[in-house]
Structure 1
Amino acid sequence: MKGKHVLLTGGTGGLGLGVTPTVLQQGASSVTIPVHNAQESERLKGRLAPADLARVRFVPADLTDERSVQQLIDEMERVDAAIHLVGGFSMGKTHEYSLEQWQKDFQLNLETTFLVCKHSLRRMLGQDYGRIVTVGSRGAVQPGAQLAAYCASKAGVVALTQAIADETRGTNITANVVMPSVIDTPANRAAMGAANAAQWVKPESLGGVICFLASEAAQDMRGAVVPVYGNV
């Protein structure tokens, strides 16, 4: 990824804290991270060396708004790789689940993926190079009880990514999706306890897989659904 310009959504989140340093270690020349507010970036800033931080751009953006996403991407010098980490998790029995929450889950998990992929792809086609990496979930292929909205929206991420991969055959653009099980983030530890955390996927480990898919080395991988399950 040396010299590449990377769009990294969710770069300040629990997963992003592992992925962002990995992207920088791989040699990206610039990493653009959209943020909702300045506080989101402080935790990440404390984990980066000054030389690495100098290559990071924090840009205010709303990924649920197409105009905001388009402006974010149009202002980048290039979009060599788009890594979309943004997503959310919620639970509830299907017969008790509200339509409002269902729509929110799809907006956060699937619609943001669509908007980021759509406008990144537009830039990539113009330069005949690009790597798109999205984040699905084990639940997309192994759905569980009380996870209908989450699993359905993540299955949509898989379908969207594979459709893009098919659309871009014959170009130097690829699209692939990683499928983590439980990720060892502070939020997941708080929600589920840390008793089984040693079996969960480390953000840095998932970051290594993501960075490979976002690199020139993965030129022959298109539409791959890559399981990253740890020991769960």
Structure 2
Amino acid sequence: MKRIIEAALQDRPCDLVLKNARIVNVFTDQILEGDIGICGGRIAGIGNMEGKEETDLQGRFVLPGFIDAHLHIESSMVTPQALSPVLLSHGVATAVCDPHEIANACGLPGIRFMLDSAGLSRMDYRFTLPSSVPSCDFEVNGAGTLSARDMEPLLAHPRVAGLAEVMRIPDVLSARPEMMEKLAVFQSAGLVIDGHAPALSGHHLQAYKAAGIENDHEAMTAEEAIE
């Protein structure tokens, strides 16, 4: 801590300085010109900085890594470890993944495989555990059902961020016990609960939200997204 404070005060050189950068401030919508001083793996400051090692960026843009907030890695037909170099090359530093495809095929072992593969990657992968295995009662899958009790041992895993897109809307609106147990378990753990509710509106949307579901990536119109 002392080192980074001294580097920020310019009382000592930074470990690394990225010179002549155009720094994108995503909070104020500004582009600032200057150096970026790094000490102990953290940004100590920006402006006119000096470092033990300096790299001239020649006016290149520097901005935080992108976050892909909802990704099904299995659709890429490769593992998390294999996909990460492609994502990183396009500036995606973090991806929040829903492994419901592999969970439908082979259950908890499939989810654990994805978590293990992600741990071998240089990317920051986070996972939301599938809320709907199978996705509907008349679907035939390879793994059978995945209950709240089945998923509970994974909640403490450092890469598990929450419950994935709750797509079985009738189960929520009818307060089906199996769904209520899943919502309660993830709420008790303080984890995020993602939504999946196209065309839901009015009192039905309010009931869906009242169940503790925090977002929805399925809006089809601007009006639906605003509601």
Q: Which has the higher contact order (CA 8 A, sep 6+)?
A: 1
Both structures adopt the same fold (TM-score exceeding 0.5): no
- Higher percent of residues as helix: 1
TM-score with structure 2 setting the length: 0.33
TM-score for both structures, normalised by structure 1:
0.32
Normalized per residue, the structure richer in strand is 2
Max Rg structure: 2
